[in-house]
Amino acid sequence: MRPQHLVTHPRSLHPGAWWLWALGLAAAASRTQNPVPLLLVLAVTGFVVAARRSDAPWARSYGAFLKLALVLIVVRILFQSVLSSGSQGPTVLLTLPDLPVPGSTGLKLGGVISLEAVLQATYEGLQLATILCCVGAANSLGSARRLLRSMPGALYEVGVASVIALTFAPQLVTDAGRVRAAQRLRGQSGGGLTSMKRLAMPVLEGALDRSVELAAAMDSRGYGRTTHRSRGSRRLTGLLVFGGILGVAVGVYGLLSGTSTSWFGLPMLLAGCVLAATGTYLGGRRTGRTKYRPDPWALPEWLVVGCGLVPAVTMFWSVRTDPASLFLASATTVPPVPLLACAGIMVGLLPCVLAPPLPRVGPVAPVGTAPVEAAA
Amino acid sequence: MITFDKVGLTYAEADAPVLADVELTIPEGELCLVIGRTGSGKSTLLRAINGLVPHFSGGTLSGRVIVDGRDTRRHRPRDLADVVGFVGQDPLAGFVTDTVEDELAYGMESLGLAAAVMRQRVEETLDLLGLPDVRHQPLADLSAGQQQRVAIGSVLTTHPRILVLDEPTSALDPQAAEEVLATLQRLVHDLGLTVVLAEHRLERVVQYADRVVLVPGAGRPVRHGDPAVVLQDSSIAPPVVELGRVTGWRPLPLSVRDARRRAAPVRALLADRRPPTPERRAPGPPMEPLARVDHLVAGYRGLRVLDGVSTGLWPGEVVALMGRNGAGKSTLLRALVGSKRPTSGRVRLGGVAPDELKPTELLRHVGLVPQEPNDLLYAHSVALECVQADRDAGVGAGTTRTILERLSPDIPDSAHPRDLSEGQRLTLALAVVLAARPPLVLLDEPTRGLDYTAKHRLVEILRDLADAGRCAVLATHDVELVAEVSSRVLVLADGELVADGPTPDVVTASPAFAPQTAKILAPQRWLTPTQVATALAEVTEVSL
C-alpha cells in the first residue's frame, strides 16, 4: 500500500476533500431548524478544526467566522422581534413603546415582543450561522488558494478573478484597520457618513491598485499561456462549463429547497456535473499547464468525503420519514432529539482521526542530531 | 540580449511622452542599473522589457523592443515568461500562492514543464537562494528579505535569461539588502544571467553594476555607459561618489573598497580636525521631555514586539529609530500616538497618555506620517486636502497650503494626491500633519522610494523642525540619511533598545549601520561628504 493511503501518514489532506466534507454538513444543516442537530453540527466543525488545522494564517479564520455567525443570530433576533408583527405569539416577554405603522404591511416598530418570536428568530439565525461556520471550517482546513490550484486550466479568466478576489477580501480588512488608525491622527473620531467616505476612498483605491499589480504579476509569470487553441473550441468549452455550472446551481437549489418536484433536483445536478466535467476536460486538454506535486486523492480523502456525505444523507432521509422532529411545530416546545440525523452528524466527527495528521513545519533538524522529543 | 530601438511611450490621457527615442542595447550577462529621479520613467522602461508596457498598462509604444529576438509588440508578457523574469516593487503583492514551494513552482506550472523537471528545479532554487528551511512556510510569515528572495526564486525556476527587478532593496533593512544583493551577484557570476534593476539606494548597488542607464525623465534622451563615467556629473550620486568629487579622485570610486585604498592622504589631511558633533541640549531639568516611554511592553497575540523599552524625546532633537525589519520600530511609533495600547509600562506625552487623548486633541500633541502616506489622504485634489486639513486641525484657512508651499513649492492645486510622486505625497502628508503644529513629529520609513533630491529636501525640512524647537523621530533603514540629519540614534533589536546615543557614536560602532563616508575614513568619525568638504576647505585655507 502506498503511504498516501494510510490515515497515519503525515501529510495535508486535499483541500477539495475538506470542502466536500463541510458542504455535506452544511447541506445537513440547511434541512433542519431543530437546534439540537444544528448545535451538534457546530460542535463537530469546531472540534475537527481544532484537531486538524495548521498554523498558517488562513487556518486562523474559523474564529472570525464564528464571531460573524454570532452577530448574524443577534441581528436576526433584533429584526424579527422588534420589527415583525407576523411571528409574535401569545407568551409576551416585554412590551416596548411602539410607533404606529399601517397594519397591512406586517411590520411594526416596538410594541409586544413575545417568546415565540425570539425563539423562532434564534433557531432560524442558528441555522444560517451553522452553515456559515461550515464554510469557515472548510476555509481554515483546506486553503481556498490551494483548492484553486486543482482547478482545470480551461477556466483561465475565472481563475484570475478568484485569486484576486481571495487576496482582495482579507487585504481590505487590514487596510481598513490601518486607515482607521490614520483617521485618528487627523483628529477624526470615526463614525458618521463623512468618516465612512474617508475610509472608503483610500481603502478601495489601494485594493484596486494591488489587484492590478497581482494580475500583472500573474501575467508576467506566464499564467494562461495556452498552446494552440482555436476560437471555436474556446467557445464550446465556455458554453459547456457555464451550462454545467448553471445545471449544478439549479440542481442544488432544487435539492435543498425541498419544495420543487423531484425531477428538478438530483437529475439536474448530475447532468450539470457531467456537462461541466466534459467542458473542463476538453478545455484542460488544450492548455499546456502542468501541476507541481499535485495533492494526491487517496483513501483518507474518500473517507473524509464519506464522513461529510453521511450526515447529509441521513438528514435528507429523516426529513422524509420524520419531518416533525426537524421542523418544530411550535417554537416553544422542547426540541426533540432526532436520533438518526444526530447519529449521522456524529459520523462527521470522524475526520479528526481519519484525516492524516499534519507534517511538522519548521526548520529541518541538522543531520546527525536526534529530535529533542526522541532524546527526552 | 535586449534592444530598445527608438522607443517612445505615451500613456493614455498624458500630454507628454514618458520615454522618447530610447536607444539602448544591453548585452548578455551584464548587470545593468537603471537610475533616475522618481517619476522619471524607470519603471516604465523596466516594464517595457517584458511587455507589461504597453500590453498591461495601455498607452502608445513607438519604436521596437526586441528581447532575445522577440518583438514585445507581438509577444504578450505571458509569452515572454520563459525569457524574462520580472520582480515587481512589492514582493507580497505579486505572490499568487500560499507557500514558498508552491510559489517557486507556479511559473513552471504555467509553462507546462514536466513534473520531474519541476521537482528538481525547485530543489536547486531553494538551495541557490538559501531557502530550504522555510520551504513549507506560508509566504505571509516570512521576513521581508526572505520574501524578496522567494520573489526572485519564483521567476528563476523557469530559467529565464533576463532578470528584471524594480527596487529590490528599497524596503529592506541593510542586512536583508546585503542578502538579496549577494544573491543577485551570484546569479550574474554563476549563471551568466542578464540582470536589469532599478534602485534609488545607489550606495547599495552601484559597485556591482557593469553599466548604468540614467533616465532623466520628461522625455529627455536616456544616457548609458560605464558607471564611473555616467555618475561623474549626474545629480544622482551615492555618498562614495560625492566624496570622490569632493576629493577630486579620478576615475570615481564606486565602492568603499576603491575609495578606501585612495583615502590615506585625505585621512592624513584631516587627522587633526574634529568632526562636528551634534549639539545635544542637556536632558532633564530644566528641559522637560516632549515624550517619555517607561518600560514599555507591547505586542500582538502572544508575540512580544516591544519588551521593556525606556527612553525620552526632547525638543530640538532629530532622533533616528533603526533596527531590522520587524524589530518593533513601527510599533513604538504607534504606541507614541496611542494606536497601540501598551501591555505594561507607560507612554506619556507631556504628562498625558496618548491613548486617552481625544483625536481632536491628539493632533496638537503629536503627528505621525505613516509608512503609506496615502492612508492620511482622502480628498480628490491637493487643494481640497489642504482645506480639509485646516478644518481638521481647527486652524485658519490656507495654513496647510502655506506650509506645503514652503516644503515643496511645485505641487499643483488640482493634482490628485495619488498621481503625485512618492516625495510629493510624503511632503503633502507631512504638511497635513504639521498644520496642527504638533511639537512631536514621527515619520515611519519616509525615504522609501525617495530619490536623492527629495531626500535632501526632507533633510532641510527636518533640520528646520529641530531648529524651531520641535522633535522629529524617523524610523528608517537609510544609514546615509541618519548620518546626515539625526542627532541621536535608537537601535531596536528583538523588542529591546540595544543602543541609544549620539549619532556618531552609534553608527560608527557597527559596520551594518555605518554610512559609506565613515567606512572610508575610519577610524576618523566623519559621517557625510558635506562634513568632509567643509573640513577640507578649512584645511586648504589654513595651508594657504
Q: What is the pLDDT of residue B272?
A: 85
State whether A222 and B418 contact (CB < 8 Å): no
Alpha-carbon gap, residue B53 to B140, rounded angstroms:
29
Alpha-carbon gap, residue B534 to B537, rounded angstroms:
5
> At which residue does the C-alpha cell 438528514 appear?
A315
Which residues neighbour B42 within 8 Å (Cβ) at sequence distance 6 or greater? B34, B35, B36, B166, B198, B215
Higher pLDDT, A24 or B408: A24
DSSP bridge partners of B298: B306
Phi first, then psi: what are they for B506, rounded to 5°?
Answer: -75, -45
B97 min Cα distance to partner chain A (Å): 6
Q: What is the mean pLDDT of residues B119-139?
A: 90
Alpha-carbon gap, residue B214 to B221, rounded angstroms:
9
Domain boundary among B207, B234, B261: B234
> At which residue does the C-alpha cell 486523492 appear?
A297
What's the ipTM? 0.84
Alpha-carbon gap, residue B342 to B419, rounded angstroms:
37
Does the residue B257 lie in any domain? no
Phi first, then psi: what are they for B512, rounded to 5°?
Answer: -65, -30
Cβ atoms of B337 and B354 closer than 8 Å:
yes
Q: Are residues B8 and B132 in the same domain?
A: yes
Render each residue's pLDDT in chain A as its tens digit; 376 residues: 688 888 888 888 999 899 999 999 999 999 898 999 999 999 999 999 999 988 877 788 888 899 999 999 999 988 887 777 666 778 888 888 777 776 666 677 777 888 888 888 899 999 999 999 999 999 899 887 778 777 766 666 677 677 777 777 777 878 888 888 888 888 877 667 777 777 887 888 888 888 888 888 988 998 877 655 667 777 887 788 888 888 888 888 877 776 655 567 778 888 888 888 887 777 766 666 778 888 888 999 999 999 999 999 999 899 888 888 888 888 888 888 899 999 999 999 999 999 999 887 554 444 444 444 433 3
Q: Are residues B46 and B187 in the same domain?
A: yes
Of B51, B113, B359, the CB nearest to A187: B359
pLDDT digits (tens, 9 = 90+) for B461-496: 999 999 988 999 999 989 999 999 999 999 999 889
Tell whether A364 is within 8 A of chain B (Cβ).
Answer: yes
Q: What is the pLDDT of residue A284?
A: 67
Q: What is the pLDDT of residue A299?
A: 93
Task: Classify B435 in phi/psi space as left (phi over 0), alpha (psi -120 to 50) or beta.
Answer: alpha
Alpha-carbon gap, residue B49 to A223, rounded angstroms:
18
Cβ atoms of B56 and A216 closer than 8 Å:
yes
User: What one-letter code names the amino acid at B95?
Assistant: F
Residues of B in contact with A364 (CB under 8 A): 132-133
Residues of A in contact with B360 (CB under 8 A): 187, 189
CB contacts < 8 A (A, B): 178
> At which residue does the C-alpha cell 463614525 appear?
A191
Per-residue three-class SS string for A166-180: HHHHHHHHHHHHHHH
Ordered DSSP codes for A85-133: STT--S-EEEEEEEE---GGGSB-EEEEEEHHHHHHHHHHHHHHHHHHH
> At which residue does the C-alpha cell 532623466 appear?
B216
Alpha-carbon gap, residue B375 to A202, rounded angstroms:
6
Does the residue B260 lie in any domain? no
- Per-domain residue ranges for chain A? 1-145+299-360, 151-225, 228-290
Phi first, then psi: what are they for B9, rounded to 5°?
Answer: -145, 130
What is the DSSP secondary structure assignment for residue B223, as one 8-state letter?
A: E
pLDDT digits (tens, 9 = 90+) for B331-383: 999 999 998 889 999 999 988 999 888 888 898 999 999 988 888 888 889 99
Cβ atoms of B478 and B514 closer than 8 Å:
no
State whether B78 and A364 contact (CB < 8 Å): no
Inter-helix orientation angle B382-393/B399-407, to 10°: 120
Higher pLDDT, A28 or B280: A28
Domain boundary among B193, B211, B234: B234
State whether B374 and A206 contact (CB < 8 Å): yes
Higher pLDDT, A371 or B85: B85
Buried b (16+ CB within 10 A) or exposed e, B172-181: bbbebbebbb
Q: What is the pLDDT of residue A372?
A: 41
Among A9-13, B33-37, B41-45, B299-303, whose mean pLDDT is lowest?
Answer: B299-303
Cα within 13 Å of Cα(A297), Cβ side: 9
Task: Classify B167 in phi/psi space as left (phi over 0), alpha (psi -120 to 50) or beta.
Answer: left
Q: Are residues B217 and B322 in the same domain?
A: no
Q: What is the pLDDT of residue B411?
A: 84
Measured at the CA of B518, the angle between CA B513 and CA B523, to 5 degrees, comes to 110
- Taking CA–CA distances from B159, the nearest residue in chain A reads A221
Cβ atoms of A144 and A15 closer than 8 Å:
yes
Measured at the CA of A273, the angle between CA A268 and CA A277, to 5 degrees, comes to 150
> Closest Cα partner for B42 from B229, B230, B234, B214?
B214
Domain with B422 in it: 316-341+354-494
Q: How far is CA A352 from CA A24, A44, A48, A53, A343, in A?
A: 16, 10, 5, 10, 16
Q: How far is CA B137 from CA A146, B118, B175, in A?
A: 14, 19, 22
> Closest Cα partner for B123 from B95, B147, B153?
B153
Domain boundary among B473, B494, B515: B494
Tell whether A228 is within 8 A of chain B (Cβ).
Answer: no
Omega cis (within 30) before B251? yes
> Which of B70, B95, B141, B375 to substitute to test the interface with A, most A CBs within 10 Å?
B375
B165 min Cα distance to partner chain A (Å): 12
Q: What is the pLDDT of residue B284?
A: 47
Does the residue B272 lie in any domain? no
Phi first, then psi: what are they for A73, rounded to 5°?
Answer: -65, -45
Q: Are residues B389 and B489 in the same domain?
A: yes
The percentage of chain B sitting over the pLDDT mark of 70, rounded to a whole number, equals 98
Q: Which three cell numbers mark B512?
A: 551594518
> Which of A163, A186, A208, A229 to substitute to test the interface with B, most B CBs within 10 Å?
A186
Measured at the CA of A74, the angle between CA A59 and CA A86, to 5 degrees, comes to 135
Q: What is the pLDDT of residue A239?
A: 85
Q: What is the pLDDT of residue A285?
A: 67
Cβ atoms of B293 and B314 closer than 8 Å:
no
Alpha-carbon gap, residue B201 to B480, rounded angstroms:
10
Omega cis (within 30) before B54? yes
Q: Are residues B181 and B322 in the same domain?
A: no
Does the residue B78 lie in any domain? yes
A321 min Cα distance to partner chain B (Å): 45
- Number of domain units in chain B: 2
Q: How far is CA A213 from CA A78, A167, B314, B451, in A?
A: 42, 12, 42, 23
Looking at every residue in chain B, the average pLDDT score rounds to 88
What CATH number corresponds to the domain at position B49? Answer: 3.40.50.300
pLDDT digits (tens, 9 = 90+) for B69-81: 999 999 999 899 9
Alpha-carbon gap, residue B193 to B78, rounded angstroms:
20
User: What one-letter code names the amino acid at B87?
Assistant: V
Of B52, B105, B110, the CB nearest to A216: B52
Residue B544: pLDDT band by 50, 70, 90 thresholds?
A: low
Q: Are residues B324 and B215 in the same domain?
A: no
Alpha-carbon gap, residue A87 to A83, rounded angstroms:
10
Of B82, B137, B363, the CB nearest to A361: B137
Alpha-carbon gap, residue B148 to B140, rounded angstroms:
12
State whether B107 and A145 contact (CB < 8 Å): no
Q: What is the pLDDT of residue A365?
A: 44
Residue B103: pLDDT band by 50, 70, 90 thresholds?
A: very high
